[in-house]
Chain A
Amino acid sequence: MISNIKLIAINELRRLFKSPFAWIILAIMQFLMAIFFYLLLSQYLEASSVTSGLTDIVVSGMYQICGIILLLISPLLTMRLITEERRLGTIKLLVSSPITITELVLGKYFGIIIFYCLILLMISLMPISLMFGTQLDLGQIASGLIGLLLLMSTFAAIGLFISSLTSSPAIAAISTFGVLIFLWIINYAGINASESVAEVFSYMSLLKHYTSLLTGVFSSVDVLFYIIVSVYFIILSIWRLDAERTYS
C-alpha cells in the first residue's frame, strides 16, 4: 500500500521536474514573495508607531499573500494530475497494474503535496533569515506554515477531483480556479443575510479558518475543517475514477 503510493508520488514529482513548469513556478513564487517580503519589511521599519510585532506584519503578511498567489497557481499544478493520464492513455497502464485506485489517487495527491511543501520551504527561508538580526515568534510562524500547508492540501484535493472529471487540462484548470475563488469569497454571500446565515457562509469560507491560524491561534476545529474538506474530495476522486470503469 505505502510503497505503491510512494512510487506514484515519486513518479509524479519526477515528471513535474522534468518539465520547466515546476522550476518556473518555484522561481516565480520566490521572486514575487521576495518583493512582498521587501515591501512588508520596509513597511515595518518605516512605521512610526509600531502596534504589532515583526512576525505579525512580515511573516503573517507574507503567508497571507502567499495563500492568495498559490490559489492562482494551484489549479495549474493540479490540472494535469488525472487529465494527462487520460490523454496519454497511461491511465490504462495504471489501472491494469496491480495497484488500487485509492493508491493511485493518494499517490497523485501526495506527489503534489510534496511539491507544495517545497514551495513553502523555499519562501519560508526569507522570513527565517530575519532570525539572524532579531527575535521571531517561532510558534506563530509554525502555526502559519501549518495553516498554509493545510490550505494548499485543500486546494490540491479539490483540483485533483476536478481533474478526475475531464480529460482536458484547460477545463480542469479553469473549473478548479472558479471553485477555489468561490470557496474563498463565499463568506461575502451572507453579508446582507441574518447573523446566523452569515455565520454559516463565513464558516464555509476557506479563508476564514486560515486567518486564525495565521495569527497564531491553533484551533483544532480549523485544522479539522481543512482535513475534512481534503478527505472529502479525495474520496470523491476515488469514487469517480472507480465509477468510470463501469459507466463510460
Chain B
Amino acid sequence: MTSEILISVQELSRSYAQQKAIENVSFNVHRGEILGFLGPNGAGKSTTMQIICGVITAHHGSVNIAGHDINTAPQLAKNHIGFLPEQPPLYYDLTVNEYLNYAAKLRGIKKNELTNKVNLSKERCGLKNVGSRLIQNLSKGYKQRVGIAQAIIHSPPVIILDEPTSGLDPIQIREIRELMRELGKDHSVILSTHILSEIHSLCNRVLIIDQGHIVLDQRLDQLENGSIKPDSVEIGLRNPPKLESLLCIEGITSVERINEEVFCINFNQESNMIDTIVKKSVFDNWGLFKLKPRGASLEETFMRLTHGDIEQLEKNNIK
C-alpha cells in the first residue's frame, strides 16, 4: 500500500501497577484501511486504543496521528481522532442534540458548521428521530449509536471504535457495518471486536493481540488466500478405510476420527498428501465427499494464536 500513513504506533508498552498490559506493540494504519483488532478479553485491545487516543499515556514508545505526536502535540493529534470507548461516554441527563452539540464544540467545530455537522452525524447513525430525547431514556442500541455519532461528528481522519457493535440488534449491526465500510473509504478505522464474522465482513486487515503482544498482523485477503499453509484437513469419506491404512499414506502425521465418516488429518506441509488421498479415494472407492483445509480460516488462526503456541507461529507466519 502506498497511501498515506495515518496512524503510526511504535513499540508501545504500558503496565498497570505490576501487570504488563501491552509490550512492544508496533503497527501502522494507512488511509482507507479498516483494521480489525482482535483478541481475547484482557489482551490489551482497549489499552492500546486508549493510548492511541491519548486517554492514557504509554510508558514506552510513541504514537503518531497524521504526522502529530500524541505526547508532544496532543491538541493537533487529537483533532484528527474520533474515539468511542468501550462504554459510550454519554451524559445521560442531556438530550441527543445537546450532547452532540457539546461533543462537536469540544472537537473545535465552528458555530456556522455546527448544525450541519450534527445533522449529518445524526443521519449517518440513524438518530434523526431521537434528537430531542434524553439519552437516559434511549435503548442500549441507540446509546451505542449516539456514541458512534460523537466519534464521527468532526469527520476525523482517524476513527477508533472499541467494540462498536456490542448491544446492537442484527439490523442495527448491519447498518453500523455499512456506515463503517463507508467511513473506511477515506478514513482510517480501527475497531476492536470479539465477533470474528465482523472482521470478515468489514475489515481489510486484521491484527490479533494476545497477552499484550501482537501475534498476527496481516491483510485479510492474504490470510484467506492461504498465505498461512494449512497443516490439517478435514476429510469426509462415505466408505472409510481402516484408520491404519490412512496412517500409512506418506506425510500424514496423525488422524483423528470426528465421526463415522469424517476424519481430521494432520500432515506434513511439504508432502503432497492431498493428491495421494484423492487418488486413493478414486481407486479404492472411499467415496470422498468433503475436503476442507483447517487452520486457514480467521477463526482457526485466532484460536491457535491465542492459545499459547506463539513462538511457532512467529516462525511460520509473521513477516
Chain A residues with CB under 8 Å of chain B are 4, 7, 11, 14-15, 18-19, 88-100, 245-246, 248
The complex places the Cα of A4 from the Cα of B98 at a distance, in Å, of 16
| Cβ contact within 8 Å between A246 and B57 | yes
The complex places the Cα of A248 from the Cα of B107 at a distance, in Å, of 26
**B 49-85 binary contact with A (CB < 8 Å = 1; else 0):** 0100111110100000000000000111011010101
Chain B's nearest CB lies how many Å from the CB of A114? 17
Q: Which of B89-97, B203-211, B213-221, B267-275 contacts A (4 or more CB under 8 A)?
A: B89-97
Write the chain A residue with the least CB distance to B162.
A92
The complex places the Cα of A117 from the Cα of B87 at a distance, in Å, of 35
Per a CB cutoff under 8 Å, which of A7, A18, A88, A95 touches B54?
A95
| Cβ contact within 8 Å between A98 and B79 | yes
| Cβ contact within 8 Å between A89 and B106 | no
Residue from A7, A89, A96, A98 with most neighbouring chain B CB atoms (10 Å): A96
| Cβ contact within 8 Å between A89 and B87 | yes
Instruction: Tell me if B88 counts as interface (CB < 8 A to partner A).
Output: yes
Chain A's nearest CB lies how many Å from the CB of B152? 13
The complex places the Cα of A92 from the Cα of B55 at a distance, in Å, of 6
| Cβ contact within 8 Å between B87 and A93 | no
Given A96-B55, A96-B78, the answer on whether A248 and B93 have CB atoms closer than 8 Å is no
| Cβ contact within 8 Å between A97 and B106 | yes
Residues of B within 8 A of A98 (CB): 74-76, 78-79, 106-108
Per a CB cutoff under 8 Å, which of A11, A18, A19, A246 touches B59?
A246
Q: Can you list 14 A-B contacts with CB-CB less than 8 angstroms, sorted by A residue number?
A: A7-B106, A15-B91, A15-B94, A92-B50, A92-B53, A92-B89, A93-B83, A93-B89, A93-B106, A98-B76, A98-B78, A98-B108, A100-B74, A248-B16
Residues of A within 8 A of B90 (CB): 88-90
The complex places the Cα of A185 from the Cα of B106 at a distance, in Å, of 41
Q: Beyond A18-B93, A100-B74, A245-B56: 5 further Cβ-contacts under 8 Å?
A: A14-B94, A88-B89, A97-B103, A98-B79, A248-B16
The complex places the Cα of A33 from the Cα of B69 at a distance, in Å, of 54
Instruction: Tell me if B105 counts as interface (CB < 8 A to partner A).
Output: yes
Instruction: Tell me if B150 counts as interface (CB < 8 A to partner A).
Output: yes
Instruction: Tell me if B286 counts as interface (CB < 8 A to partner A).
Output: no
Chain B residues with CB under 8 Å of chain A are 16, 50, 53-57, 59, 74-76, 78-79, 81, 83, 85, 87-94, 98, 102-103, 105-108, 150
Residues of B within 8 A of A100 (CB): 74-75
| Cβ contact within 8 Å between A96 and B83 | yes
Chain B's nearest CB lies how many Å from the CB of A246? 5
Chain A's nearest CB lies how many Å from the CB of B135? 10
Per a CB cutoff under 8 Å, which of A18, A94, A95, A99 touches B94?
A18
The complex places the Cα of A11 from the Cα of B105 at a distance, in Å, of 11
| Cβ contact within 8 Å between A95 and B106 | no
Write the chain B residue with the least CB distance to A101.
B74
Given A93-B106, A96-B55, A97-B107, the answer on whether A88 and B91 have CB atoms closer than 8 Å is yes
Residues of A within 8 A of B59 (CB): 246
Residues of A within 8 A of B16 (CB): 248
Residue from B92, B93, B98, B103 with most neighbouring chain A CB atoms (10 Å): B93
The complex places the Cα of A180 from the Cα of B27 at a distance, in Å, of 50
| Cβ contact within 8 Å between B150 and A93 | yes
Residues of B within 8 A of A7 (CB): 102, 105-106
The complex places the Cα of A36 from the Cα of B106 at a distance, in Å, of 43
| Cβ contact within 8 Å between B55 and A245 | yes
| Cβ contact within 8 Å between A90 and B91 | yes
Chain A's nearest CB lies how many Å from the CB of B54? 6
Write the chain B residue with the least CB distance to A18.
B93
The complex places the Cα of A45 from the Cα of B75 at a distance, in Å, of 61
Given A92-B55, A96-B81, A98-B108, the answer on whether A15 and B103 have CB atoms closer than 8 Å is no
Chain A's nearest CB lies how many Å from the CB of B18? 12
